[in-house]
Structure 1
Amino acid sequence: MTEDFMQHVDAETVEAMTFYSIEEKLEEHGRRCSEFGIPSPTSVPYEFESKIINKKAELRIGQEMYALLNQDQLPAADKVLAAHHKQSNNGTCFFIDGPGGTGKTHLYNTLYHLFMGQGIYVMSVAWTGIDAGLLPEERTVHSRFKFPVPILETSTSSIRPHSKEAEEIKKAEVFIWDEAAMAPSYALKAVDILLRDIMNINLPFGGKIMVLGGDFRQVLPVTRFGNRSELIAASLKSSDLLSSFKVIHLSQNMRTGTGEEEFSKWLIQLGNGELPSNEYDEIDLPRSRMLDGNLVNEIFGQHISINDIPTLYNRTILCPKNQHSFLVNEEVLQRLPGTETTYTSVDDVECEDGDDVTNYPTEFLNSLTPLGMPPHKLKLKPGAIVMLLHNLDVKQGLCKGIRLIVRRLQNHTIDCEVATGSNKGSRVIIPRITMTPSDIFLPFKLRRHQFPIRLSFSMTINESQGQTFERLGLLLPQLVCNENIW
């Protein structure tokens, strides 16, 4: 690793830069050098401190993006900018409400570059890794604010006042949070408590400018085994803090193509609850959008050739639950040409009482595929589309939810190509890692050593948030739960 820093600096500086870089990588996963017997950096190398933000370049980018804002985005941007310049009495918290395709991401990035170009430090976060990849800093809420996964009603940040992370947060004047509608209300409360604590100011979010955005018509917080009232209580709509936010609506859809206007309008009416329904709240689906035949044939074709592989990542079939997407993925993989390779995991269990380990035989552990975990038997072919299940390097775009194209299958690593995002086309090497599920309902802690990926020709509705496809099918073998309305 020292070879990355050996240009124009002496050996002592190279060593300091290497240890600091390692510490940075470990901090992304909540760890420190000292935990692994590696010397902790005692100071920040000058070469890292000297990475000054190019204000002129940031301002130029922001102005170019500002010039492209539409009639909905322009007043929204002006309101947020005015809040910092004390030209508005409407408060400093904003919620950008808009369906997919109305330009929320473009608005966030415009504000980010304009503020940074004026020397105003901005932190941008998103609720999921895939959405974080669309923002400049590519950080999730959990990563930036050091919340546990999953975050619970009793969860708090591990950041302490006067720590390095706290000082960095203190310097930020503006926070941008994408897909906030997916977050539970107690996550917003935890951020509020953290910022008040760090700033030592009893104002909402420590007096910071907050720009949240999302679409309550889409995926809401998942509340396992929750009833209707619990689902509603978990939503940001039920948070007392939401009264601090001025809601700004975006409605002009920038993605709707020719001939799609009517269906786009129908989707908005569905999300707004404006469609006629029967006594059971059931609606009639447009007959023109329904398929009686094989959905896999319609989306991927009856036969997949080598020439089809470059376009496979632009197609998907969405399902309500993982169990349905697993079946679709298996069917598509069988149609993909090439030799199939199977990678098996090494599973063990950690229990509070060591004697309980014998109650969970290896065969039983192998049969489990908890939420967010790869299967025990991972079947792949070159050209297969897979999803990353663990944040490996968020700053490089290797975040949970990103889709990859398998290029080479090796014994100990898998060579993949990034299929989407700002790093599209770059090659990455995926290693085996040890993962533990975030499923708190298991009576033990499962440890699985496996490649942190799974097939992604098909995915759940939740996993599709923040992604765009050219061809998409929706498989509904059962009623969709409240938290999975799309």
Structure 2
Amino acid sequence: MAWSGIAASLYPKGRTCHNVFRLEFPFKSDSNSLLNEEIKEAQKIRDAKVIFWDEAPMAPKQALKVIDLKLRDLMGIDSPFGGKIMILSGDFRQIPAIVENGGPMDVVNASICNSPLWPLFKKFELTENMRANKNEKQFTEALLKIGNGETIDEDGCVDIPDHCVVQGNLAEEIFGDLIAEKKFEQLTSRAILAARHDDVRGYNDEVMQMLPSEGEMTFNAQDAVKHGDGELHWHGVPQYFKDNHINGFPSHILTLRINSVIMLLRNLSIEEGLCNGTRLLVTDLRPNVIAARKLLHDGTLSAEKIMLPRITLKHDAGPFELYRHQFPVIPAHAITVNKSQGQSFDMVGVYLEKEVWSHGMLYVALSRTKSWDCLKIQLKKDRVNKTKNVVYPELIAQAI
């Protein structure tokens, strides 16, 4: 299993931790497991000899505690994880568990490496970067130093190689040649990464306009709210929710073109690799279905077309719940650095005019591809081949 859907889809019959242990979603500091001990899935867990958990550093320590308690309960053994062998994998240099409105120490305290269970694990270190080109020793060494915070200067910045810095239009640099030559199937092999959602949306709009306009379609969602009476009201939804973007939620108005790249926002079928974060290339657009081809792990596109339906999604909007009936996708020529975690690209554009603000973001952004030659980076105008890097040394030290 894995904490993220993308990582889970890399394994045969891989599933998310939420799916295996029926963890509440979104998972919060007081969340629990809803796994019923009588169902078939519980028996599969009882029968397992080893449990593999990938992207574990993305999970909060509460998740480790909940799974420990559930395994003790399922096995009837009051010892760590019910006596199961637990193998956790991941990289603490990457983006850790998100703590809403939390500061650096809140993030460090929420990490699994701050769990009372952490000292029970024996640590092993992998030594080869499997994503980078074999001859890119300098690149892989530079990434590790960035991830460890070893090369940060007195201004909190690190150096960026001259040839990676872009002065012109980042969207043109990354996608211009492919679109001009109509090599649309290769669009999924590239991406622009940014730290903030508004910049991601801006670049997606820009790249969408670069694509041929034939077959463009606009999809309007149906919205409803649930008040204290428990009834869904499909009329009178505040205009605020229609006009503004909600992170992790499809737009009320979704405009797509054929050959545009999209990303799923929900797990539709982990077994088929259709999970939160999966990228696809649109092949056809109809009022009630989107036809697309899935990006496979080797970088190619699936031969078969996948039909994506509209579904109803829920968002907790404070005093009431917002329900939106829409396709669970967003344009994904550009994605946030957080969403890129676990993904690989042949070429990456990194927008850093608005710099990174959290642990591991720069490390993740730069490590999504094979070498410095595959990176195009747009920096702040007042930076001369430098950009901010944020590393929480306490997190790295605690994890080791």
> TM-score normalised to the size of structure 1?
0.70
**Does the residue aligned with 1:387 lie in a helix, a strand or coil?**
strand
Match of 1:434 in 2: 312
- Distance change in 2, residues 1:452/1:213 (3 Å): same
1:321 aligns with 2:196: yes
Deviations along 1:410-435, one digit per CA (max 9) or x if unpaired, are: 12111111122388333111111111
**2:40 corresponds to which residue?**
164
CA contact (8 A) 1:174 1:210 kept: yes
Select 1:228's aligned residue among 63, 84, 104. Answer: 104
1:289 aligns with 2:164: yes
- Alignment pair present for 1:205 and 2:81: yes
Alpha-carbon distance, 1:134 to partner? 0.3
Aligned to 1:333: 208
Partner of 2:396: none
Check conservation: 1:416, 1:429, Cα contact below 8 A. yes
Q: 2:269 aligns with which of 393, 411, 415?
A: 393
Q: Which has the larger radius of gyration?
A: 1
CA 1:356/1:391 → structure 2, altered by over 3 Å: closer, same or farther?
closer
Q: Secondary structure at the match of 1:263?
A: helix
Report the Cα distance in structure 2 between the residues aligned to 1:305 and 1:426, rounded to whole angstroms: 26
User: Percent same amino acid at aligned positions?
Assistant: 37
Paired letter, 1:320: A
For residues 409 and 150 of structure 1, what CA distance do their matches in structure 2 show? 31
| Equivalent residue, structure 2, for 1:262 | 138
The whole-number CA distance in structure 2 between the counterparts of 1:354 and 1:203 is 42
Spell out the pairing of 1:351-430 with structure 2 (5 A cutoff).
351-352=227-228, 361-421=237-297, 424-430=302-308
Counterparts of 1:357 and 1:135, CA distance in 2? 41
Per-residue deviation, 1:368: 3.2
**Structure 2 CA distance for partners of 1:445 and 1:355, relative to 1, 3 Å:** closer
The match for 2:342 is 466
The structure with the largest helix share of the pair is: 1
The 8 Å contact of residues 461 and 484 in structure 1, kept in 2 or not, is answered as: no
The question of whether the paired residues in 2 share the 8 Å contact of 1:223 and 1:483 is answered with no
Deviations 1:274-303 (A, max 9, x none): 11420x533333333322221111111167
Counterpart check, 1:178 vs 2:54: yes
Structure 2 residue identity aligned to 1:365: F
* Distance (Å, rounded) in 2 between the aligned partners of 1:314 and 1:211: 31
Structure 1 residue 217: Cα displacement: 0.7
1:95 is matched with none
RMSD of aligned residue pairs (Cα, Å)? 2.2
Please give the per-residue CA displacement for 1:294-334, whole angstroms capped at 9, x wherever unaligned: 11111111672462201000000011122211110000000
User: Quick one: structure 1 residues 354 and 131, their matched pair in 2 at CA, closer, same or farther if it must change by over 3 Å?
Assistant: closer
How far apart, in 1, do the equivalents of 2:5 and 2:207 lie? Answer: 26
Maintained 8 Å contact 1:174/1:208 = yes
By relative contact order (CA 8 Å, sep 6+), the higher-ranking structure is 2
Equivalent-residue separation in structure 1 for 2:341 and 2:94 (angstroms): 9
Q: Which blocks of at least 5 consecutive residues in structure 1 are unaligned? A: 1-124
Contact 1:386 1:456 (C-alpha < 8 Å) held by counterparts:
yes
| Other-structure match for 2:174 | 299
Task: Decide which of 315, 320, 327 is 1:444's aligned counterpart.
Answer: 320
Q: 2-side partners of 1:213 and 1:246: how far apart?
A: 12
Quote the Cα distance in structure 2 between the aligned partners of 1:405 and 1:358: 32
**Comparing 413-422 and 206-215, the one that deviates more:** 413-422
